[in-house]
Structures are given as C-alpha cells and as structure tokens.
Structure 1
Amino acid sequence: MFSNVRIASFLIPLAVAGVLAGNVPAAQATTHGSRCRGEGVDASARIRYHADIVIKAPLSRIFRLQTRVEGWPDWQKPVLSSKRLDHGPLRAGSSWRWTTPAPATATTPATTMHITSTLRRLKSEDCLLWSGPAVGEGVRIDQGVHLWTFTRVKGGVRVHTEETWTGAQVEADVATSTKLLGAGLEAWLRDLKTAAESR
C-alpha cells in the first residue's frame, strides 16, 4: 500500500518513528508500561508502538539533543520546523509547534502535519513525556502521547520510546496507523543515535 520512501517520511512521531515494510510485529505493537514521574502513554489507545536503541554517547549529549526541541530540524530531516512557544528551560507545561510531512494513504492526501506538543513530565537525563494533537490537510490525530526514557547501560545509553495515538480518523485503520507510527519512531531513534555519536 505504501512505498518505503513514503512511509519513512511520515510523522516521526509525536513525533510524529525499523519497520519500513511488512507488518508491525505483535510484540512491538504493545507497550512496556514505562513511566515518567508516574505517568505514561495512553493505556486505552488502540494505536501504540515502542522501540529501543543503545547509543554510544554521553547521556548529557543525548538528553540535550532531545530536549533542545527548536534544534530538531538540525539532525532530523523529517522535522521541517520546530519553534518553542514559551521561553526558558524546557519544563513541565512548556509547548512547541513543529511540522513534518505525511504521505498520502488510501484515505488521506499527502500533507504537512502541524503538531503542538506540551511537555507533561520531565526528569533530567531520565525521562520525558509530551502530548498534543497533529493536524494536516485532510488528516488529524486527536492526541498523541510520547514517552522517552534514558538508562545508562554497558556500552552507552539505552533510549526507550513509546507513543500512542487516538482519534477517529487514525483509528479507522489501526494497522496502517501503527505501521506509520512505528516507522517514524524507528527513524527518530536512528537519527538520534547518528547525531549523538557523531558529535
């Protein structure tokens, strides 16, 4: 239904993302139930994905790349723009607006998604949780909830991410939405690894 190139360019999740072809494995479509300061992704959401990667870089560098949200376009090609809507250090309640392309599907046109994310939980060099809607021409995700955790392990830092989507439009085709979400999360992790290890 989708070409690999078109899937790879979709929402790097809410951030709107290696599943570029084929079905998402059942194990990957479930959540680990991770939390950030007691809160996690939407437990009732039908669209969910989780993924992990080990990055051989200092935790401080990885966390800085992830939390300097206005700098996302510098190391993630799928992020077209990202702008903070408040000032000062990133903290619970901080918001930012960012954009990313979405491919055409059998039921929606190709478009640019406009995402407004609000940080719900933050623990320095440990975890992040944000949420918000994503809207494009003919496409809407009512609520994306995105969790990140960072754990020092032998050989580097294990970065774990989970995301859920809710909304009538994306829930009309759970398999395709999950596939697109998974592709975006996997791409985000690869880009974060490349950026952190090359600095």
Structure 2
Amino acid sequence: MFGTRRTGLRATLFAVPLVLAVLGSAAAPAGAAPRTVTSLTCRGQGVDPDARVRYRTEAVVHASLNTVWKVQTDVARWPSWQGAVTSAERLDHGPFRTGSAFHWTTPVPPNPATPATSLDITSTVQQVRHGSCIRWTGPATGEGLHIDGVHVWNFTKVRGGVLVRTEETHTGPQVDADVPAATEILRTGLDAWLRDLKNAAEARTADHRS
C-alpha cells in the first residue's frame, strides 16, 4: 500500500510516542509486560524486520472470501473503489500470481522532509497463496522522496465474513528522517485502503443479493 488520502499532518503528531504510532494499538495496562505482536507472513515471508516505519491493521469484511479476493487482486480496478489510487495497471497478464507486477500512483501530503507529491509505484508479488495471503514489494518514488516498501495481506474466513489483516513497512532516507510523521502517513493510507476494500466488497455482495 503506499496509499493515503490528501490530509495535512497536525503539529501534535510529532509528539506521539513511536510505540503507539508504529502499531496503532492500545498500550499494555500499567505494570503489564509489553505485548509482543507477531508480524504477518505469506508463505513464511513477512515485512522488513529492520524497518522503523511500520503499521498493521485489520477489519472484518462481511462478504465471501471469493468476493474479497477478487476485489483486492483486480488491480486495474483499484481506482474505481480506492479514493487514494489515481491510476493502476497490471504489467503482466493472467491470474494474480507470484511474479505478477503492477504500476500505480497515489498522492502523498506534505511533511517536514518532502513537499506534497504523487508516488509512482511498481509492486511485484513475491509470495501468494490463493484466498489466503499476498506479499508484494517495490519502490515508490516522488519529488524528493524514495521509499522501499514491503506489504503483506492475510485473509481468513470467520463467522459472517472475512478477517482481513494487513501490515506494511517503509524504508528510505526521507521516511527514516521523521519516523512518527512517516508512520502517521502510512497509518492513514492503510486504514483508508482497508475501509475502501470493506466498502467495495460489501457493496458487491449487496448488489448480488438484490
């Protein structure tokens, strides 16, 4: 994901402790040991373990696994349901598989290290298990900005739908220069992506029932 909606970063963001910004989860109760969160994986491979900018989130989508999978992997249609994706195209043909590559663009708001820009991204699927998980990697470049990203998605059937979990890491000189700001941008983008995926898959399910 390198996606984010156009939004300014508030000055208060820079005071957010990194431990909260990174995982976006509630702190452990007073006196309790810090909670260990295992990174998501696909076929045994996960996000960059050394990355300082990372975020993970999840949601239950009330749709079939087949519907969620089709919406997520039909890359060319991303702009039709993702507000933050301005263009997207597959660079190969056929089933979504290991080695599949795609080029897409998304805006990024200004921050202390770089101006507002549009990220030009080429992602390559490194691991995939149909209906279960995806892991892709790739560079993203914009004005004064270069990011290397690793993105993992997990899909699990649950009662009433699909639990979708996602985790992403970013590395690069500009994002490493201000980890809290870069993490907030990543958090905003991943939360929006998951929300849009949920809305698109559930809307398709409702259309099929009507």
TM value normalised by structure 1: 0.87
Query: Structure 2 CA distance, aligned partners of 1:133 and 1:163?
Result: 13
Partners of 1:24 and 1:179 within 8 A in 2: no
Amino acid at match of 2:22: A
Please point out which of 182, 187, 200 is paired with 1:182. 187
Q: 1:56 is matched with which residue: 52, 56, 62? A: 62
Partner residue of 1:9?
none
Residue of structure 2 in register with 1:193 after alignment: 198
Higher radius of gyration, 1 or 2? 2
Which position in structure 2 is the counterpart of 1:77? 83
Give 2:22's aligned residue. Answer: 29
Q: Aligned equivalents of 1:112 and 1:78: distance in 2?
A: 10
- Deviation sequence 1:88-143 (CA, Å, 0-9, x none): 111111111000011111221111110000000110110000010110111211x1
What is the percentage of aligned positions where both structures have the same residue?
A: 49
Residue 14 of structure 1 corresponds to 2
Unaligned runs of 5+ in 2: 24-36, 205-210
SS in 1 for 2:85: coil
Q: What 5-or-longer segments of structure 1 have no aligned partner? A: 1-12
Indicate how the Cα distance of structure 1 residues 45 and 193 shifts in structure 2: closer, same or farther if over 3 A, else same.
same
Which TM-score applies when normalising by structure 2?
0.82
**C-alpha RMSD of matched pairs (Å):** 1.8
- Superimposed CA distance per residue, residues 58-116 of structure 1 (whole angstroms, 9 cap, x where no aligned partner): 11000111111111001001100001111111111111100001111122111111000
| Distance of aligned partners of 1:155 and 1:127 in 2 relative to their CA distance in 1, 3 Å threshold | same
Which 4+ residue blocks in structure 1 deviate beyond 6 angstroms?
A: none
Q: C-alpha distance in 1, partners of 2:91/2:106?
A: 17
